[in-house]
Structure 1
Amino acid sequence: MPKLVLIDGSSYLFRAFHALPPLSNAAGEPTGALFGVVNMLRAHLKEAPDYLAFVVDASGPTFRDDLDPQYKANRPPMPDELRAQVEPMMQIVAAQGIPILRVSGVEADDVIGTLALQAANDGIDVVISTGDKDFAQLVRPGVQLVNTMSGSKLDTDESVVEKFGVHPGQIVDYLALMGDKVDNIPGVDKCGPKTAAKWLGEYGDLDAVIANADKVGGKIGENLRAALPRLPLNRQLATIKTDVALDEAPSDLALRERDVESLRTLYARYGFNQALKELDGGASASIAEKEPGAARGRGFTSAPSDLPAPVPDAALSAPGEYECVLERAQLDVWIAKLRAADEFAFDTETDALDPMRANLVGISFCVEPGRACYIPLAHDYPGAPAQLPRDATLDALRPLLSDPAKKKLGQHGKYDLHVLRRHGVDVAGYADDTLLESFVLEAGLQRHDMDSLAERHLGYETVKYEEVAGKGAKAIPFGHVALDDATRYAAEDADVTLRLHRVLKPKLEALPGQLSVYRDIEMPLVPVLERVEANGVLVDAAELRRQSADLSRRMLAAQQRATELAARSFNLDSPKQLGQLLFEELKLPALVKTPGGAPSTNEEALEAIADQHELPRVILEYRGLAKLRSTYTDKLPEMVNPETGRVHTSYHQAGAATGRLSSNDPNLQNIPIRTEDGRRIRRAFVAPQGRVLLACDYSQIELRIMAHLSEDAALLRAFESGADIHRATAAEVFGKPLDEVTSNERRAAKAINFGLMYGMGAFGLARQLGIPRGEAQDYIALYFSRYPGVRDFMERTRQQAKERGYVETVFGRRLYLPYIASRNQGQRAGAERAAINAPMQGTAADIIKRAMAAIDAWLAAHRDRALMILQVHDELVFECETGFLDTLLPEVRARMEGAAQLRAPLVVDAGTGANWDDAH
């Protein structure tokens, strides 16, 4: 059957602009939205539809403006950076030979709706490419919606009901009830998707809802009755016209011959290098971290401008052939294949997201793209076929998995290493991880999950977890998934992982600096982090409960004080009530606004007015206490693993673009260290009987890296002297002997030392020190006069970032800066600050990762006596036998201080104690 693709061009341009980074070409012209649209076009062209049209809004008013003069009246003007991409977008679409449609007096939606129904009536399958929910009203046999950015699809009545809770024929009424803030259509106040779907499910359509409005109780019933006069107009505005008089019929929309030379010129101008290769007959690949357990994320993100999404190679984007292994003879055949392969991909399926508690349900392997197997081990639904016994199967696989000479690869394989270790298999020879390959290549991107990687690098749409296991309340454990579906999903995990590796590996090999970061820093750290996470840390639950009780008492006292200050009771947790009290009743100035322009009550806003009234300070105190209680003192005891009696955090190597590790479940890196309450929480992290904790922390590592990179003689001298660096800096800046520096002068020097690394200017320094801006500017000028190498380094780094679009750490890790040439001054200034800070923060991250790998290797022979249990910023924490401390400390210090050779030598401070706070 012939196929027509109708592209909602206006929608995609806006969505791409807001969803993707603000990339730019070498000339500084914005390309982010353009990049997203071009990728979307290439995806549709790859499918070779019979008919295709790119539909955009025409300029001027439409019939909806006649119906309601306020329609879309509140829309802001198009941003300049987006406006600049409209014309090149249209040029590229035209050069591709794609018909462009724009009709005066109606919107693009109406043109699409008319063509869609005409084509369906003519026996042509219709795909509407859009992210706009309004089009759901058009779904019917022969008409489907596809969101190319997210990969989602609406193609049946059931799929629309699943997404919105109403049928396609009820979508217009659904939209009328909810209204649309973007289009300035006021609906029923406080009527959201669930309420609208509930009313339509109960009464059938909008007319029936209107007729039964008096039966709806409560405040929402009052709101409905107040909106009744407006609802018929809302329905008119939300209805897509399907009878627009058009010059083109669906059969007139065949693809025309493309203008290759124009495309070549446009792609070259805007830096779409992979699209250029495609024009010249080159082949390549598109992107996507397998999330822990069975679930996998999906998303669309653009690559940095010099690493654009490539065109999929046919061999790497074709469907795979997968085998379900149920017999021992099949298993033996696959073991032989794995032994014969140079490398193989593997993946586990489990019954939980927490790797420290997950049970193995099955395991998959792949030795060549397109051929993989799934070995189910614990599928227990009614009628499930007999499966190989888990222990015997793992015994058969153990020699292979534990062989360090056999190269294995995975996607977020740390999770799988945990699961297999829990089941008695210590994996060795873990050589490659596609999540980390992607992260090192494209650290600035948000998504490195397998689904996103497959979409970007392979042009391959993976099977979604919810497709085989359902979602929400209807989701079933993976062990209850039918084996045919489980095999299709699980074997694909291993298959796609191997395919991705075949694409990403040569990209890394083409960048020696990046390859070194991947091979020498990131990959060696995977098994180290797995061991640190498995070691866990002991917490004193009774101490935490005592702290929770104390925090609760102090929260109650803060609530009572706030009530006294307000002279009435109010909900301290309600931003709305707090805003009304502070800004309307107490008439305090609203110095900080929300993105929508309303007065903000966030921490910054309250700090800004805390000197004008006591209440904001009390609210800040209350919030701080509440956060500590909910995040740590109440939560940590609940997170103790019943099998180990310890708390096990999870570290993420791909969590921050600079390479810094992040932790979650629980996040142990955000415990406040500068407050007594934060330090009290650290006291609950304890050593077992007969053991102590050792905390080793790099001293002022980022300042030392600054001295190394800037080669400033005075700064290097300050470190070489071994003196207090902030006192030494104050002595330089204020021209005094060290012993005459005052505490305020040292405080100012410390603020400058750290502030400059984060791009702080005179305004920020003045606010931090509580001094006039002119005085702060004088401090900074004095600093640069004494440390001219630092000033030169900062200027040189900004310039290099603008020229190259990225900065690098000492070890070659790159951080791309898409905003560095932005026309928006705020975005550009932020990128310049990042350009200066990232090499220091990223180098510090690289150094501690190198130190962890070196220490872990030494600890291998002493794991019964000492464990590495925590990494927090520039600090490592160990648990060891009391009698082993004198051996451990010098070995750890030597490896931490030897992790990099800098012009300003690394120094490690260390402390010991029965708990983490005492060890500081």
Structure 2
Amino acid sequence: MPRLVLIDGSSYLFRAFHALPPLTNADGEPTGALFGVVNMLRATLKEGPDYAAFVVDASGPTFREALYPAYKANRPPMPDELRAQVEPMCRIVEALGFTILRVPGVEADDVIGTLALQGADAGIDVTISTSDKDFAQLVRAQVPGRGLVELVNTMTGSRIDGDEAVLAKFGVRADQIVDMLALMGDAIDNIPGVPKCGPKTAAKWLSEYDTLDGVIANAGAIKGKIGENLREALPQLPLSRQLATIRTDVELEVAPDGLRLRPRHVDDLRVLYARYGFNQALKELDGGAAADAVEKEPGRARGSGRITAPAATDGPPPDPALSSPGEYEAVLTPAQLDAWLQRLATADEIALDTETDSLDPMRANLVGISVAVELGQAAYLPLGHDYPGAPVQLDRAAVLDALRPLLEDPARRKLGQHGKYDLHVLRRHGVDLRGYADDTMLESFVLNSSQRHDMDSLAQRVLGYGTIPYEAVAGKGAKQIPFASVAIEDATRYAAEDADITLRLHRELSTRLAAEPALERVYRTIEMPLVPVLERIESNGVRVDADELRRQTADLSRRMLAAQQKATELAGRSFNLDSPKQLCALLFEELKLPALVKTPKGQPSTNEEALEAIADQHELPRVILEYRGLAKLRSTYTEKLPEMINPHTGRVHTSYHQAGAATGRLASSDPNLQNIPIRTEDGRRIRKAFVAPEGRRLVACDYSQIELRIMAHLSEDAGLLGAFAAGADIHRATAADVFGRTLAEVTPNERRAAKAINFGLMYGMSAFGLARNLGIGRGEAQDYIATYFSRYPGVRDYMERTRQQARDQGYVETVFGRRLYLDYIQRGNQAQRAGAERAAINAPMQGTAADIIKRAMIDIDAWLAGYADAALMILQVHDELVFEVEAGFVDTLLREVPARMSAAAELRVPLVVDSGVGTNWDEAH
């Protein structure tokens, strides 16, 4: 029987956009949603349908809005990144030979519903390719002379092909689906239903009373609060049923048999696939070795906290062994372990990975270890799998004892993917891993920091290899099981692959690094030596005074209440300060304040920028901002930090991410300690809760104006060089130059303006931004900038030189050779190009600053190794290092650490370090 495939294009486009990461092609154009849809279309074509259509929503209102104006009223506008992918999606769809259908006045669902029943009535089997549960109302079993109607989710492979399948999935028959949807309502489409009525309740009612009409007729017999909710909702249920019903009588200009697939436009597809980086699809198009493969939908979490993502491949790897399937072994007997110990003992390098029961390395228990020493061959040593019928495993302590001589031998090279996690886990289990020589995440990061560096993205992009998603072995959502409960056979395929792919990636990425000597130096002298340093800092952790934070929480709560009361007085009535809708009504409708900032939908915004813009016109916006600031401090820090104290160490342990920022700056998470406000009294109070133990002190060492000093070095401007060489207050010196005064004559406002210029220009601030920052006219701000550049022409020349370098090369570099690629510098739209130019100017300074403090951390860590626990490096916050020090060792540390930080780079100006000591972080800063 012929087959018709009806593709719910709108559903797949949105689902792919929200399910996949924000991928871009080489030109910076968004491709994530496009990637998902194209893979789905290629999978559909491989099944060889006779007819097919790609159905999308037409613009403009539909009959449902006429029935119920609030229909879909809560849906946000299409994001710009998604809107940009609609047109290329349609071009690819058409080039693949699909008919695209858009019918005004109805939704794509109604077009699909009409064609589905027409096709089935004509004896055609119909497959609706969708992830939308509403289509279950159309499912029909095959009967003589009539085709079936089935649902297939091409992204997951699930299929619903008859009443039994519908009943198993939803608990009701296909002809009851509409009634079920009416009872449940739909928050996304804003369809009203019965409050608190979920799928189980709706299915129960329909099982008892068969139809919605039957439920309505028996509403009086349903007891409890849910019965009251049902009776209150009775007047709107017929409307809800009408809104949820997919129409099957739409007048269409095409019949199912008019939807035959057209021949592909291969030349158009080749251009489109190349533009958007779909190399696997391109190889398939050109009949390459991967012609039978479809790029698999990416999974999610992998073992050690890795996040998967799809990525276009960089082209075929030079060695076929890098992309071929591997052979993996589960090590369950002493003889197998001995054999692998012999292989490891003679190996030049060992790729390894750990599997655990937690993403927090400071609490994770070891479940297994995987190792690889040859491409395509790896072993998994299960050590903690616990499920009914699990085979006997080797004793964990015995295995670690057997591995310890190899793992702790610094002469034996080890490599991993995000290996800092594995260093933590092994240290917690008594193994001090040494000889950690290579990390594929960092190799990728140094080669191009703007790409994704998780294992699954790298495997796809570098090797053309699709890795096993975590969900494939552990399940997902509420049904996901711990890795210790995964069957050892499945765990072996997954975990051994980690070690194998790590080894394969290293073989390819190390070759690419070797071809770029400057980048290889960054990798070898900065990034790799920093890994064990960060692991030690994270393990050290920092003491936090939970009682102090609780006191601050109480104070913040009291002040929030006072702000609420003040806001109520100013408004003349009570309202919810956390409700944007109520704020809009109050500020812009009742108080008639101007809506100076709009949302993407064109509605008045109540975000921080919007409230700041009108804070000079009424006191209420300022009070709301004060309330929000207090609420953020409470929820983010004073309430959360005590909960994050590790019960085993009594300390808070942040995680630092080397591949977290494209410029090379370290990022911090769980908790993020780099965003604690420092310019406000409340922010400084939070730092008071970071304390030293009895008999010890906290010492903070902070680079002074390091990025301005780097600007002076890079620009070689005589004025800036002279000011720094003289040890002058650089902002006062700039003010004197710009405003034509002596240093003594400079006023505080002039110094403030000069500071805004110094930092603003470094971050690409325009005259408009400077004017807003200083509260002056745009013309006056432009005059300030012009005067600044006339006094410091070297800065202007550096900026123009850097912009041109970025346009010519596509990247800029730090003093040490780190690169930042700028995808939008040539082909993005005007706003994107402007943003790329600002990044081009700032990245060498911010990246060089990051390199300098990393070099300092490596040197200081090596020096501290000789002093046991006399001093611990416990925090890095941008340009600042914080130490916990024995009271008697403070003077030694204050002598050594600032000197080592100052010596971390040789610039044309001195690197100055400010230091402070205290019993808490605020005192030390």
Please say whether Structure 1 and Structure 2 have the same fold, judged by a TM-score greater than 0.5: yes
1:326 — aligned with what? 332
Judged with a 3 Å threshold, the aligned counterparts in structure 2 of structure 1 residues 31 and 875 are, in CA distance, closer, same or farther, namely closer
Residue 604 of structure 1 and its aligned partner are, at CA, apart by: 2.1
Counterpart-to-counterpart distance in 1, 2:516 and 2:216:
65
1:370 maps to: 376
Alpha-carbon contact 1:513-1:813 (below 8 Å) kept: yes
- Contact 1:434–1:497 (CA<8 Å) still a contact in 2? yes
Structure 1 match to 2:97: 99
Q: How many angstroms does 1:360 deviate by?
A: 1.3
What secondary structure does 1:918 align onto?
A: helix
CA–CA separation in structure 2 for the residues paired with 1:723 and 1:630: 41
**1:697-776 aligned within 5 A:** 697-776=702-781
Shift of 1:730: 0.6
Instruction: Please say if 1:517 is aligned against 2:513.
Output: no
Give the aligned partner of residue 894 of structure 1. 899
Q: Kindly state the Cα deviation for residue 397 of structure 1 after the two structures are TM-superposed.
A: 0.4
| Distance verdict in 2 for CA 1:343–1:618, change over 3 Å | same
Tell me the amino acid that sits aligned with residue 99 of structure 1: G
Q: Please give the residue correspondences for 1:123-522 in structure 2 after superposition, counting only pairs within 5 Å.
A: 145=152, 152-155=156-159, 187-188=191-192, 195=198, 198-200=201-203, 202-203=205-206, 222=232, 225-226=235-236, 228-229=238-239, 231-237=241-247, 245-247=255-257, 259=266, 296-300=306-310, 315-445=321-451, 447-522=452-527
Shift of 1:474: 3.9
CA change 1:525–1:202 in 2 (3 A) is farther
CA distance, structure 2, for counterparts of residue 546 and residue 202 of structure 1: 51
Structure 1 residue 428: Cα displacement: 1.1
Check the 8 A contact 1:731/1:738 in 2, yes or no: yes
CA-to-partner distance for each residue in 1:223-252, whole Å, 9 max, x for gaps?
563252353253124999999733468xx7
Letter in 1 for 2:35: G
Taking the aligned partners of 1:541 and 1:753, their CA distance within structure 2 comes to: 39
After superposition, give the CA deviation of every residue in 1:183-220 in whole Å (9 maximum; x if it has no partner): xx65227979x846753464367666666677655678
Work out the CA distance in 1 between the residues paired with 2:21 and 2:473: 30
CA distance in 2 between partners of 1:567 and 1:490 (Å): 63
Q: Is residue 2:544 matched to residue 1:539?
A: yes
Residues of 2 paired with 1:159 and 1:632: CA distance?
A: 49
Distance in 2 between the 1:760 and 1:586 partners?
33
Partner in structure 1 of residue 797 of structure 2: 792
Deviation at 1:51, TM superposition (A): 5.6
The alpha-carbon deviation at position 735 of structure 1 amounts to: 1.4
Question: Using the alignment, how far apart are the partners of 2:809 and 2:174 within structure 1?
Answer: 50
Name the CA distance, whole Å, in 1 between partners of 2:129 and 2:228. 40
Instruction: Confirm or deny that 1:581 pairs with 2:615.
Output: no
The secondary structure found in structure 2 opposite 1:759 is: coil
Number of equivalences: 900
Stretches of structure 2 lacking an aligned partner (at least 5 in a row): 142-148
For structure 1, which segment, 530-539 or 614-623, has the greater mean C-alpha deviation from structure 2 after superposition? 614-623
Q: Which residue of 1 aligns with 2:145?
A: none
2:300–2:307 contact (8 Å) kept in structure 1 = yes
| Contact kept? 1:31, 1:85, Cα under 8 Å | yes
User: Residues 221, 312 of structure 1: CA spacing in aligned structure 2 closer, same or farther, 3 A cutoff?
Assistant: farther
Greater Cα offset, 284-293 or 329-338: 284-293
**Which residue of the partner structure matches residue 35 of structure 2?**
36
Map 1:610-621 onto structure 2 (within 5 A): 610-621=615-626
Structure 1 Cα separation of the partners of residues 323 and 546 of structure 2: 51
1:323 CA drift (Å): 2.0
Q: Which moved more, 1:82-91 or 1:573-582?
A: 82-91
What is the CA–CA distance in structure 1 between the aligned matches of 2:56 and 2:22, rounded to whole Å? 27
Larger CA deviation: 199-208 vs 608-617: 199-208
SS in 1 for 2:698: strand
* CA–CA separation in structure 2 for the residues paired with 1:608 and 1:865: 51
Cα distance between partner residues in 2 of 1:12 and 1:233:
21
CA distance in structure 1 between the aligned counterparts of 2:778 and 2:647, rounded to whole angstroms: 55
Could you list the runs of 5+ residues in structure 1 that have no partner in the other structure?
A: none
Letter in 1 for 2:893: L
Cα distance, 1:523 vs structure 2: 1.9
* 8 Å Cα contact 1:292-1:415 kept in structure 2: no
State the Cα distance separating 1:398 from its structure 2 match. Answer: 0.5
| 3-state SS in 2 of match to 1:229 | helix
| CA 233–359 in structure 1, closer or farther in 2 if over 3 Å, else same | closer
Amino acid of the structure 1 residue aligned with 2:444: S
After the TM superposition, which residues 791-870 of structure 1 pair with which residues of structure 2 at under 5 Å, given as runs? 791-821=796-826, 824-870=829-875
1:668 CA displacement: 1.0
Q: Are 1:673 and 2:678 an aligned pair?
A: yes
CA distance in 1, matches of 2:122, 2:495: 40
CA distance in 2, matches of 1:506, 1:38: 34
| Alignment-mate amino acid for residue 888 of structure 1 | L
Deviates more, 1:504-513 or 1:649-658: 504-513
Instruction: Give the alignment partner of residue 650 of structure 2, picking from 645, 649, 654.
Output: 645
Percent identical across equivalent pairs?
68
Partners of 1:349 and 1:121 in 2: CA distance: 54
Residues 411 and 435 of structure 1 are in contact (CA less than 8 Å); yes or no, is this contact kept in structure 2?
yes
Q: Deviations over 1:136-170 (max 9, x none)?
A: 7788999674565xxx4434689999998988877
Q: Name the CA distance, whole Å, in 2 between partners of 1:908 and 1:894.
A: 8
Instruction: Select between 910-919 and 279-288 the one with higher mean Cα deviation.
Output: 279-288
Q: 2:799 & 2:171 partners in 1: Cα distance?
A: 55
Find the aligned partners of 2:55 and 2:918 in 1 and give their Cα distance: 68
Contact 2:51 2:257 in 1 (8 A): no
1:907 offset after TM fit, Å?
1.7
Contact 1:847 1:899 in 2 (8 A): yes
- For the aligned residues, what is the CA RMSD? 4.7
- For the structure 1 residues 92 and 841, does the alpha-carbon distance in structure 2 shift closer, same or farther, using more than 3 Å as the test? same
Superposition pairs of residues 686-697 of structure 1, within 5 angstroms: 686-697=691-702
Partners of 2:42 and 2:239 lie apart in 1 by 45
Counterparts of 2:408 and 2:380, CA distance in 1: 19
- The equivalent of 1:594 in structure 2 is 599
Q: State how far apart, in whole Å, the 2-side matches of 1:444 and 1:751 are.
A: 29
For residues 83 and 489 of structure 1, the distance between their equivalents in structure 2, rounded to whole angstroms, comes to: 36
Is the CA contact 2:57–2:107 (under 8 Å) kept in the aligned structure 1?
Answer: no
Per-residue deviation, residues 554-588 of structure 1 (Å, max 9, x unmatched):
23332333333333333333333333333333333
* Contact persistence 1:696–1:911 (CA under 8 A): yes
| Partner residue in 2 for 1:626 | 631
Alignment check: 8 A CA contact 1:312 1:458 kept: no
Give 1:319 deviation, angstroms: 4.3
Question: Which segment drifts farther, 704-713 or 34-43?
Answer: 34-43
Residue 395 of structure 1: CA displacement? 0.6
Point out the more displaced range, 814-823 or 48-57: 48-57
Question: Are residues 815 and 43 of structure 1, via their aligned partners in 2, closer, same or farther at CA, if it must alter by over 3 Å?
Answer: farther
From the superposition, tell whether residues 523 and 277 of structure 1 become closer, same or farther in structure 2 (CA, over 3 Å).
farther
Contact 2:113/2:246 (<8 A) preserved: no
Question: What SS is found at the alignment partner of 2:651?
Answer: coil
Range that drifts further, 362-371 or 104-113? 104-113
User: CA offset at residue 82 of structure 1?
Assistant: 8.6
Residue identity matched to 1:36: F
Verify: 1:609 aligned to 2:614, yes or no: yes
Secondary structure of 2:438's aligned partner: strand
Whether the aligned pair in 2 keeps the contact of 1:56 and 1:108 (CA below 8 Å) is: no
